[in-house]
Structure 1
Amino acid sequence: MTEYRLWGVIVAAGTSRRMGSVRPKQYHAIAGRPVLAWSVDALLGIPAIAGVMIVRSADDTCLEAVMPRGDPRWRDCIGGGERQASVQAGLAALRDWGADATDRVLVHDAARPAVTQGDIRRLIDHVGDDPDGGLLAAPVRDTLKRADDEGRVASTPSRDGLWQAMTPQLFPLGRLESALAMASGAVVTDEAQAMERLGARPRLVAGDPGNIKYTYPDDARWLAWALDRQRAGDEA
């Protein structure tokens, strides 16, 4: 396997519009800790990671209080108005930190606190040197329905071959920079979609379906259960 360094970018610049909360959801307490703290620990717990860049909003005043003290492997930078711009800002900040185009970067949502280190290690191992990268994902299990404008069933698409994308997503830093630059002005909802526009075919790596994104208030109950279960396993 070619030698390269591994970096992390955690996107934490959101304003929680869908959550309907004044305080950004990455700072909500779940299982006794801020959501962002869980996500950061998941990446920093991987010894191979050279550094993790936290992408925050310009008016964020909470970050320092939740980050691990004395750990030199994290820094922060200011993100943009949309996810794509925030990831680009994170990659540029990694470049300033010393990362280069041949390095690999794990891009993770701050609002996915229940990702397991086992899944992250499996993603790293399975993707390896693949220039197209890869992502954690879970096969769609339930029947899907497409709705019409009246909220009625319009069709039932086949779930064959469909996966639910998660994070982290792992790509060569230089190729991801190019993909995001090419996608400027287009709507891309994750890094894999930007890579697809380059012609890449990212590898799907099966992850724990419990790695959900904290999107609605009711998600907190499930995430608390998942995180308590992980913590109990670590202490056993």
Structure 2
Amino acid sequence: MRLTERNIIEFAPSLDLTFFRVNARQNDRLYALIPCAGVGARAGANMPKQYRAIGDRALLYYTLSAFDACDELTDTLVVLSPDDALFQAADFDGLRFTPARCGGSTRHESVLNGLVALAEMGAQDHDWVLVHDAARPGVTPALIRQLVEAVRDDDVGGIIAMPLADTLKRAALDPALARIGNTEPRDGLWLAQTPQMFRVGLLRDALLSAQQAGFAVTDEASALERLGLQPRLVAGNMRNFKVTYPEDFAMAEAILLGRGA
């Protein structure tokens, strides 16, 4: 389902944390949402990277396997492009998830549409949703549970992230020079990963507000930050890296299949 004008009116932003505190319950359900409508142009393949093979399985299979192993999740929603001709449910036989062909032209739109689809499946505003990149196949059930344990009692929510370890360089203003402009202090800097875990209603309202303001959302947390909220940082690990470039597939094979890179 695509987000329409009617949906926007129906789910008009309230952004009231009091609602979520009052309605929070110990048995709030947990959902996962995997936006899977991208084409993965930087991966240099003739197909979206989530369908590239790692061993004898699609990359997406490994991602879904980690969430399937978490029995505490009510369901995992995979948001596909409406014209996705590569997805075959049989390729993921045995895994617990629900496909929805409601993906949009951007991640922002796909996640919004996915949140509307979750509501139609019965998710309530006070339930939790863990949004995760399809192209992070190194995620583990332990990492998912670590985030849930750290965030479930938090007013805002939180994300998996890594403290920046490397020296950070900013390029010179003229990109053609390919030279260092200056070194940036790395104190307090983190590399955002996923999953990112927020209340269904709070995330939907924050994304809608950003969309209506024309604000470019690079990850779900940035939509909440725009409203002055501060999601919790939960330390992850490098295994949970995002497959982006062609050479990343060799690293993913080394991690997932135990092969030398």
What residue is the counterpart of 2:125 in the other structure?
Answer: 101
What percent of counterpart residues are identical? Answer: 45
Q: What is the distance in 1 between the residues matched to 2:89 and 2:250?
A: 24
- Alpha-carbon deviation of 1:25? 0.5
Moved more, 86-95 or 37-46: 37-46
* Other structure's SS at 2:205 match: helix
CA distance in 2, matches of 1:70, 1:116: 18
User: CA 1:66–1:223 in structure 2 vs 1: closer, same or farther (change >3 Å)?
Assistant: farther
Q: Give the counterpart of 2:197 among 162, 170, 193.
A: 170
- Work out the CA distance in 2 between the residues paired with 1:165 and 1:106: 14
AA matched with 1:98: G
Given that residues 76 and 96 in structure 2 are in contact (C-alpha distance below 8 angstroms), is that contact kept between their aligned partners in structure 1? no
**Contact 1:131–1:171 (CA under 8 A) maintained in structure 2:** no
Structure 1 residue 151: Cα displacement: 1.6
Assess if the C-alpha contact under 8 Å between 1:34 and 1:66 holds in 2: no
**1:126-163 deviations in Å (ceiling 9; x for gaps):** 00121211011111111010002222111100111111
Whether the aligned pair in 1 keeps the contact of 2:50 and 2:135 (CA below 8 Å) is yes
- Change in CA separation of 1:76 and 1:157 when aligned onto 2, cut-off 3 Å: same
Correspondence 1:194 to 2:223: yes
Task: Give 3-state SS (helix, strand or coil) of 2:35's partner.
Answer: strand
Distance in 2 separating the partners of 1:67 and 1:3:
33
User: What TM-score results when the alignment is normalised by the length of structure 1?
Assistant: 0.93
Residue of 57, 67, 70 corresponding to 2:81: 57
Root mean square deviation of aligned Cα? 1.6
**8 Å CA contact retained: 1:2, 1:129:** no
Amino acid at match of 1:97: M
Deviations 1:168-194 (A, max 9, x none): 100001000011011112111000101
SS in 1 for 2:109: helix
Mapping of residues 68-83 of structure 1, within 5 Å: 68-69=92-93, 73-83=97-107
Give how far 1:213 is off.
Answer: 0.7
TM-score by length of 2: 0.84
- CA 1:99 to 1:85, structure 2 compared with 1: closer, same or farther past 3 Å? same
| Secondary structure in 2 matching 1:145 | strand
Whole-angstrom CA distance in 2 between matches of 1:105 and 1:198: 19
Structure number, greater radius of gyration = 2
Are the aligned partners of 1:100 and 1:174 in contact in 2 as well (CA < 8 Å)? yes
Instruction: Check whether the contact 1:53–1:77 (CA below 8 A) recurs between aligned residues.
Output: no
| Post-superposition offset of 1:70 | 5.7
How many residue pairs end up in the alignment?
A: 230
Identify the residue that residue 18 of structure 2 maps to in structure 1.
none
Q: Is the 8 A contact 1:88 1:177 kept in 2?
A: yes
Match of 2:253 in 1: 224
Unmatched runs of 5 consecutive residues or more in structure 2: 1-24
Q: Tell me the distance in 1 between the aligned counterparts of 2:94 and 2:121.
A: 18
Residue in structure 1 matched with residue 243 of structure 2 by the alignment: 214
Q: CA-to-partner distance for each residue in 1:83-114, whole Å, 9 max, x for gaps?
A: 10000011011011100100000000100001
Between the aligned partners of 1:29 and 1:118, the Cα distance in structure 2 is 24
